[in-house]
A and B are shown apart, each in its own frame.
Chain A
Amino acid sequence: MRNIIIIGNGISGVTAAREIRKRSDDHITIISDEHPYFFSRTALMYVFMGHMKKEHLKPYADAFWEKNRIALLSDRVNGIDFENKMLRLDKNNPVSYDVLILATGSLPNKFGWPGQDLKSVSGLYHMGDLDRLEKWSGSIRHGVIVGGGLIGIELAEMLLSRGKTVTFLVRESGFWNIVLPPEESSMINRHIREHGIDLRLNTELKEIIDNGRGEASAVTTSKNETIDCQFVGLTAGVHPNVGWLKNTSLDIARGILVDQYLKTNQDQVYAIGDCAQLRTPRPGRRPIEAVWYTGKMMGRTAAQNICGTPIEYDPGIWFNSAKFLDIEYQTYGFIPPSPDDSTHTFYWEHPDGKKSLRINFDKETGEVRGFNLMGIRFRHKVCERWLKEQKPIDYVMHHLEEANFDPEFYARQEKDIRQAYAQQFHTTFA
């Protein structure tokens, strides 16, 4: 029986633990300094908004861990001796491991803004951020959110839900347009404004102003405007939580470098989830993909490698989903903000301005490269199959119905979509 220790009880660490338990009888311990139990970070917003209580965030009942013989330790690891395979802890005596999995997640980015460490300034990542926001909530009337990405819009929605007004500073010319193509981005811009959020594009944070008691009282922007506020949300992305591991023999770039088996350069040490950086990512993929789904896949892969069935990390076809206020978003395959020279992009938008479909496909062969959806649900399995089998756009257009995953009785858009396609590409299709 080996002694397997996992640092971090997020989705990646917990998936690894569960999958190892399925395959072996080893001793498993998960150490975390954040919360005694695994919880869904992705749902923090719903607690603040009153949709759920904290206890609903736990995907497994508390009895699950003992039943599956997964030991949980609440403590912070402050150093690792890779030579002797030992961990130093804040509160407990050092512990030794046979196999170590690093699943330490991310930390919010801060770019050295003046005032970034004031009270009532926070990112949204940890449970502690939620608790602080809850504590301050009573005195917040207006909040400023900095950074136009997924977490920023969630934080804006949270404040709105409690009757606060929000200014949303976005550096780019459209919401999240480093990922979204212009049409989708402007749909979300409109929707953000529909909710009464004061969206300011092409605007950066310059400084957070202290009210004299160590709290934020206003911000100034790159356009030299001053905005009074009682809270500043910093949501300009995240970076791997590896600072505390620098200056060790562990090989680190932005994240902890791992090979295709998710092994680090240290014996019996693996890294997974947000904190891991692939030395050689697959074509078209990024070396760090800080999302829930890849954390889960990495956890499973690491477990297999640890339990004697070596397997390369294969994240499959890229997919992701999110919700921007009331508009659901799904993406499958490869949809860059603007298509390259070899790619056509087909875009259809519903007249209500809240639903759209984009399909990118090869100019020569017609094979589909990716799907972007707003306000429509597609079936994961079907999209994945089409992309894997490199189906041509004509085939896909003929079989759109197969992919629909909307609830029953929803208005169907296939006819309009085909017409739009025929129009845009001057085919006699439809």
Chain B
Amino acid sequence: MYTGTALGLFGLLILLLHGAGIRFFSNTIDLILALLSLSFGILIYSYALYRGHPEGIKNNGVWRRALTSRGWLAILSGIVITGFYIVLYFYPQYLGLGADGAKNTGLIALFDPLSQLLKRQPASQWFVYGVLYTLAIVFFGIKFMMKYRHNRYQQFRTLSVMFFQFGFAFLLPEVLMRLNRPYFNFANMWPLNYYFFDQWHIDGLIHAGTLGMFMLIWGLLMVFVISPYLTYRFGKRWYCSWVCGCGGLAETAGDPFRHLSDNSLRAWKIERWLIHSVLVFSIVMTVSVIHSYLGDDSSKYWLTRSLFLGIVSILIAGVAGGLYYFKRYEMAKDARFGMIGAASAILLLLINHFFSGNGNIFFIDAGSLRSWYGFAIGSVFSGVIGVGFYPLLGSRVWCRFGCPMAAILGIQQRFLSKFRITTNGGQCISCGNCSTYCEMGIDVRAYAQRGDDILRASCVGCGVCSAVCPRGVLKLETGEIGVKL
């Protein structure tokens, strides 16, 4: 275990030294050395950790170790990761990013050889980040699979996130760029991919021939057809804990911190307001951005601003109204909650249309609002807080409080999905393992001890509650909506 830790730290040291401009051999050799040290460090550590122990739940000492119980090591790692994100997002020049075509130096230059190999371009800070991110998912994923070697659901799920991260989020887009095609991740979609509907992105796709058109249509299908259908069939887990990269990191590198999620009622209230506000905001923003590049003249292009706003309003009103009509008895409180959200979104849109000038949202330029959103939600929330605070707030802060995609899938899951977690008769002993290890901070026990099914918008279907339950009480299942299994 010490060997593993030392090797991993050595890998980090190489990265750090390069950050400070110190090289060992050539960039290529140092990069290989660093990546191998990191990978083997994790592998050796995990092997030593689980070797010789019979298969089973491995949570001994989780609340006793400084790293996993908000001790000094947790605070230290929180600061380091957060610092890394701040530099990455806002001061990439310190990582050695060459400005205006200048050559990269430092850490980013270290990754040039790999970037050249993959896409024949020098590395950027995003490339560095992508490599490290993918490495973390793959190797901590292997660690997670060793930990849960008795549980096939956990193994398959982890293989899946590793595959989607490595293949779809990392490799394929790089290869596309090498082939001079648009950068595109087929497993990512609006609104998580918040620039999907930006003018430059849509134009880029439209001008990229058949493949571009396919990407555009794929993106739209994902949002409006494929993802609702999959959520209906399997629950939002098909995305959040099987495909998504943010979820992928949370489930692998973030796994040692899953129990730190706050499962109080207060946290649940904050969660509902926050995540749905982000959703409303992201819809308003996207609509305004599209609105800002459409014209008013129907003879030039059939989709005019008013027509577009009309369609969007009807769509939102239809979805919200339908939900309210069909589900008002079973889920009155949640439905009303949804209504308020949808109504305010429409209201904002209309106010915007009639009172704001061209391309403005509340008299603020749509473009700058959009970049502000990218900064606040895309960078600060998902990266700096979302990952930087893993050791303090748990692994799913972003997914739980900030992700607009999770909000949409959550609404679908809550109202229109066959997915639920069932409780095995009266067998719950109220031990609390499920609630403690739910990374979404769901108080699973509150349902299980009453013998109720768990049907929560935020549940990402990670299956860990079911795995850690010492009495085998919980099962992730699908069945007819509204029928108790």
Contacts and interface: CB of A to CB of B under 8 A. Distances in A.
Given A59-B445, A408-B153, A409-B152, A51 B59 contact: yes
Contacts of B57: 51, 326
B260 to A, nearest CB: 11
A380 interface: yes
A132 to B, nearest CB: 18
Contact of A408 (B425, B449, B476): B476
Given A56-B436, A323-B470, A296 B63 contact: no
Contacts of B429: 40, 42-43, 292
A3 interface: no
Given A51-B59, A380-B426, A405-B475, A46 B54 contact: no
B431 interface: yes
Interface string B143-160: 000000011110110000
A161 B471 CA distance: 19
Contacts of B449: 59
A179 interface: no
Contact of B425 (A56, A161, A381): A381
Contacts of A194: 54
Nearest to A383: B425
A95 interface: no
B431 A42 contact: yes
A59 B434 CA distance: 11
A339 B151 CA distance: 34
A50 B430 contact: no
A411 B476 CA distance: 16
Contact of B432 (A59, A406, A407): A59
A407 B56 contact: no
Given A407-B152, A407-B476, A59 B430 contact: yes
B71 to A, nearest CB: 12
A377 B424 CA distance: 9
B229 to A, nearest CB: 19
B471 A321 contact: yes
Contacts of A40: 429-432
B426 A293 contact: yes
A328 B471 contact: yes
A113 interface: no
Contacts of B424: 377, 379-380, 405
A334 B357 CA distance: 77
Nearest to A57: B432
Contacts of B476: 407-408
B435 A325 contact: no
A229 interface: no
A245 interface: no
B264 A43 contact: no
Nearest to A381: B425
Contact of B59 (A42, A50, A162): A50
A71 interface: no
A314 B445 CA distance: 25
Contacts of A61: 264-265
Contacts of B436: 51-52, 56
Given A328-B472, A381-B425, A407-B475, A195 B152 contact: no
A43 B64 CA distance: 17
B423 to A, nearest CB: 9
Contacts of A253: none
A323 B435 contact: no
B427 interface: yes
Contacts of A43: 429-433
B62 A405 contact: no
Contacts of A293: 426-427
A11 interface: yes
Interface in B424-473: 424-427, 429-433, 435-436, 445-446, 449, 463, 466-468, 470-472
A266 B472 CA distance: 40
A20 to B, nearest CB: 16
B426 A49 contact: no
Given A49-B60, A380-B427, A321 B432 contact: no
Contacts of B63: 50-53
Given A49-B59, A297-B426, A405-B424, 15 more contacts: A46-B432, A58-B432, A59-B432, A195-B54, A321-B471, A326-B54, A326-B57, A328-B472, A379-B424, A380-B424, A380-B426, A380-B427, A407-B466, A407-B476, A409-B156
Interface of A: 11, 40, 42-43, 46, 49-53, 56-59, 61, 161-162, 191, 194-195, 292-293, 296-297, 319, 321-323, 325-326, 328, 330, 377, 379-381, 384, 405-411
